[in-house]
Chains A and B, each alone.
Chain A
Amino acid sequence: MDPAFLNQLQRIVGAGGVLHDPLDVLTYECDGLPHLRMSPAAVVLPASAAEVHDVVRLCARARVPFVPRGHGTGLSGGALPVAGGVLIALSRLNRVLEVDIPNQRVTVEPGVTNLEITRQVAPFGYYYAPDPSSQQVCSIGGNVAENSGGAHCLKYGFTTHHVIGVDAVMPDGELVRIDGALTDAPGPDLLGLIVGSEGTLAIVTSITVRILRRPETVQTLLAAFDTIDAGGAAVSEIIGAGIIPAAVEMMDALAIRAAEAAVHPGFPETDTVLIVELDGPAAEVEALFEIVKDICRRCKATSIEVAADEAQRMRIWRGRKAAFAAMGRVSPNYYVQDGVVPRTKLPEVLNRIRDLERRSGLPIGNVFHAGDGNLHPLICYDERIPGQSDKAVEVAAEILSYCIDAGGSLTGEHGIGADKNTYMPQMFSAADLALMQRVRNALDPLGLCNPGKIFPTPRLCGEVPGPYRAHPVEKAGLAERM
């Protein structure tokens, strides 16, 4: 990297805010999807919105591509650095700027974790609704980029429904306030465009979110089923009965085993468990909860356990939320996918995945948001066995094609990132993608802001998406990945 450019960066953020030692930047070469790696030329750690602004402006002037990053927990390689580019890590922008309880709004910097917002407002009886499983560590900035969901988004909506304003640094380095504490700004919904744009349109430096009153009652049950069909049928019936639970989650045997090994939530040993949570006014929850229990019984649940107290409820959720990362306990490597199918197609697609599991020989765990049809197949493989990581990619691709066939989507909450951009043509026509590209070019004409994400890009010759594996040139000893 050009020393003069580094100097200028240092002038903005101080010497302690720029990392360019190969050893330091090494740790930034991947996010929560470690298969995709790329070392950035430098990592910048701004400590204020003004510094982000200056850094982006400098990059725009020097035509240096840049990638924003929160705490690096994304699962689609959305914060994968660009070779020769700058990685802007927002971990130091971690202040809570304003807590306005009467108006139920909180303004934070992007490096604040999702759970921290709830922590701030919990003493007043409020919480922040979107709850990705990584909520204790994932940053709000990242949530905005990916439009993160979570278990409780079935009833309450995703990040885009809870963010009411952002301050954003646009790719040309201009700081723009997009909406704010007051709603209904006239004009197209720019906020709706920015939320979920995976950091390709802007870097947000402050975010105003709505907080919700804690519901009067929360009741959670854990139902066990012998077959995934029975569990899927129960989900369909619950929704069909006009009940919108706060959360409906499903886990299969492999995921149950992993969660049990990691946090001992006390799940039954069975083929499928269904977690149903209802919240709201006590009378409503009580009445609906009985209906849900009836439905589970009718769908041949082998056991129904109702969380007796908050501790037990937390235990169930700990089991559910740790399930991904806990796969490390049952398999040396795993690859998470994030397809969505219409709820009614769940049993059909799950059975196709079971078939695929048998055919491919790779165990596939399933932890998913059944209420909104968001599948998280966890494809287990061992990268030390030759051919397995390629196979995992093929299996993942096939599962995604099942989702598209069923009228679903490539991703429900993890984002397209650098992981699935080559699958985009399966879901969108050339005209659809061209329209999105035009929007992107309107806001980032130079293509400097998080390039290589979302849109299919021609890769290196001979390179395929998916887990890291040596490029043929590397294998031949002709090049080395830095």
Chain B
Amino acid sequence: MDWGRAPQRVDAILSTRRLNRLLAHAHGDLTATIEAGATLAEVNATLARRGQCLPLDPPFADRATIGGILATNDSGPLRHRFGTPRDLVIGVQLATTDGTLAKAGGQVVKNVAGYDLSKLVCGSFGSLAAIVSATFKLTPLPRASKTIVVEAPDVETLGQIVRDVMSSQLEPIAFDIHVSDVARLLLRFASLPNVVDAQIEQTLALAALKGLGAPKRQGRDGGCATAVTEDDAERAVWEERSRRMWDSPGAIVRASWMPADLPAALKGATRVTELAGRAAVGAGLIRIDGDVRTQAAAVEQLRHSTSFRHVVIVRGSDELKSIVDVWGPLGDRERLFASLKHALDPNGILNAGRGPL
């Protein structure tokens, strides 16, 4: 409920919490139909019994509902391999403002019949229709998984490592960077055990990583340049990374950048306290510390820089939201959004005023 602008007027809150069933899990077909109110953690716990999962990992999986994840199109490190919710959703059932239930897409992984409205509602923040349930394609749980954490001496070296990994044959399932006072890179490999080891070896052999010191296994970053983790330690590393930014103070914005140009981009963004995101996709979260004025100035700076685009405030005080627009310029698309909103919610009763529509 933090996201978006302050609502103009709230007459009723439609909670989907009781729509929390896993309607169908066609494990042979690797698909599942889930009601909107189920949390991601509940769903994945059920799917894991069949050795499968919905490969999404936005922050706070224990609280995030399927409908909410879809409506915000939120994702986490696994986006590197599996994409965002819009890439995984194959069908959706919607409650529209004229009081009907309508569906789009289907139950099969490949389907181009009709408009793909399940994608349209991704990122709509509930302002076009209410999501009742959605069907996703799933993925088998990997047999082994390891993560390598690399600490780079500076942002330039980090950029070089990112470029090297991108142009290499490595196939990580997550490829994150985390820049605050230290520049870190996290690579997660998941496959057969020997394959994971081979990929880790290949990573360590990358030219840019050489000279950063020998790996220390099972370590927790403690002072060494690279560390390889697995099992619980691995989970803890990712958990910590995902919480860290949200546990720290300040405003948080979503932004995207050109992956290969990150070091240059960071140099221009002097007011950024912390940046975490998907290295090869070029998208993630940025935390800005300081008082509201500083935060507002930082957001404006990011919006005006040529390196960052689509800067959206996802956590900020009401005061900040009143100084700078939450969504930023929508460009040419604004007009199209207006037509769509008018067609699907002519009276503007859904999520009034919170945007982006």
Contacts and interface: CB of A to CB of B under 8 A. Distances in A.
A298 interface: no
A442 B344 contact: yes
Contacts of A283: 192, 194-195, 198
Interface residues of A, number: 88
B144 to A, nearest CB: 11
Contact of A147 (B116, B117, B122): B116
Contacts of A185: 309-310, 330-331, 333
B109 interface: yes
B106 A442 contact: no
B113 A181 contact: no
A373 B106 CA distance: 13
A373 B109 contact: yes
A308 B356 CA distance: 54
Given A342-B108, A372-B109, A435-B96, A193 B115 contact: yes
Contacts of B194: 283, 287
B108 A103 contact: no
Given A244-B140, A436-B117, A188 B195 contact: no
B128 A188 contact: yes
B339 to A, nearest CB: 4
B337 A188 contact: yes
B199 A281 contact: yes
Interface stretch (A43-51, A56-64, A234-242): A234-242
Given A192-B119, A281-B169, A436-B114, 5 more contacts: A180-B309, A187-B327, A192-B120, A195-B116, A282-B198
A428 B104 CA distance: 8
Given A439-B340, A443-B340, A454 B102 contact: no
Interface residues of B, number: 85
Q: Which 7 A-B pairs have the closest CB atoms?
A: A192-B119, A242-B140, A442-B343, A102-B260, A344-B28, A409-B111, A182-B309
A245 interface: no
A138 interface: no
A429 B102 contact: yes
Given A186-B123, A186-B327, A342-B29, A408 B167 contact: no
B332 A177 contact: yes
A305 interface: no
A280 B190 CA distance: 12
Contacts of B31: 342
Contact of A428 (B103, B116, B259): B103
B29 to A, nearest CB: 4
A249 interface: no
B64 interface: no
B56 interface: no
A41 interface: no
B150 to A, nearest CB: 19
B113 A416 contact: yes
A407 interface: yes
Interface string A167-199: 000100011111011111111111111011100
A333 to B, nearest CB: 25
A188 B258 contact: no
27 contacts: A102-B166, A102-B259, A161-B83, A177-B332, A184-B255, A185-B310, A186-B310, A188-B128, A188-B357, A192-B86, A193-B119, A196-B115, A196-B116, A242-B141, A280-B171, A282-B198, A283-B194, A287-B194, A342-B31, A344-B28, A373-B109, A409-B112, A411-B113, A412-B112, A427-B114, A428-B113, A436-B115
Contacts of B333: 176-178, 185, 187, 190
Contacts of A427: 106, 113-114
A176 B100 contact: no
Given A147-B116, A177-B332, A196-B115, A284 B192 contact: yes
A281 B198 contact: yes
Nearest to B115: A436
B26 interface: yes
Contacts of A125: 167
B101 interface: yes
A175 B122 CA distance: 23
Contacts of B312: 186
Contacts of A157: 83, 87
Contacts of A412: 108, 110-112
Interface string A384-426: 0000000000000000000000011111111110001000100
